[in-house]
Structure 1
Amino acid sequence: MDIEFLALPTEPVAQIRDLGRDAYDLPVERHVSGGDGYPCRHCLEETPLGQDYLVLAHKPFETTNPYAETGPIFLCAESCARAEPSDKTPAILRAPEYLIRGYSADERIVYGTGKVVTTDQIAAYARALFERKDIAFVDIRSAANNCYQCRIRRAS
Structure 2
Amino acid sequence: MHSFQLSGLPAQNFSALFELDDAQLAERAIQRVTAEAHPGYPCRVGLVDAEVGDELLLLPFEHQSAASPYRASGPIFVSRRTHAQDLAAGRLPPYLTRRLVSVRAYDAADRMVDADVVDGNALAELITRILDNADVAYLHLHAARRGCYLCRVDRVAISP
Say if 2:84 is the partner of 1:82.
yes
Q: Gaps (5+ residues) in structure 2?
A: none
Task: From the two aligned structures, give the one with the greater strand fraction.
Answer: 2
Change over 3 Å in CA distance of 1:129–1:98 after alignment to 2: same
Asked whether the equivalents of residues 7 and 85 of structure 1 are also in contact (C-alpha less than 8 Å), the reply is no
Say if 2:54 is the partner of 1:51.
yes
Whole-angstrom distance in 2 between the partners of 1:102 and 1:91: 21
Asked whether the equivalents of residues 41 and 74 of structure 1 are also in contact (C-alpha less than 8 Å), the reply is yes
The corresponding residue for 2:41 is 38
Post-superposition offset of 1:119: 1.2
Change over 3 Å in CA distance of 1:83–1:120 after alignment to 2: same
The corresponding residue for 2:76 is 73
Change over 3 Å in CA distance of 1:33–1:109 after alignment to 2: same
After TM superposition, the structure 1 = structure 2 runs for residues 55-134 of structure 1, keeping only pairs within 5 Å, are 55-76=58-79, 78-86=80-88, 87-93=90-96, 94-95=98-99, 97-110=100-113, 113-134=114-135
Change over 3 Å in CA distance of 1:106–1:17 after alignment to 2: farther
Whole-angstrom distance in 2 between the partners of 1:134 and 1:11: 32
Q: Alignment partner for residue 28 of structure 1, among 15, 27, 30?
A: 30
Whole-angstrom distance in 2 between the partners of 1:129 and 1:21: 39
Task: From the two aligned structures, give the one with the greater helix fraction.
Answer: 2
Change over 3 Å in CA distance of 1:15–1:115 after alignment to 2: farther
Whole-angstrom distance in 2 between the partners of 1:31 and 1:85: 27
Change over 3 Å in CA distance of 1:35–1:92 after alignment to 2: same
Report the AA paired with residue 45 of structure 1. V
Asked whether the equivalents of residues 63 and 74 of structure 2 are also in contact (C-alpha less than 8 Å), the reply is no
Whole-angstrom distance in 2 between the partners of 1:120 and 1:131: 19
After TM superposition, the structure 1 = structure 2 runs for residues 10-29 of structure 1, keeping only pairs within 5 Å, are 10-14=11-15, 17=18, 26-29=28-31
Larger radius of gyration: 2
TM-score, L = length of structure 2: 0.81
- RMSD of aligned residue pairs (Cα, Å): 2.3
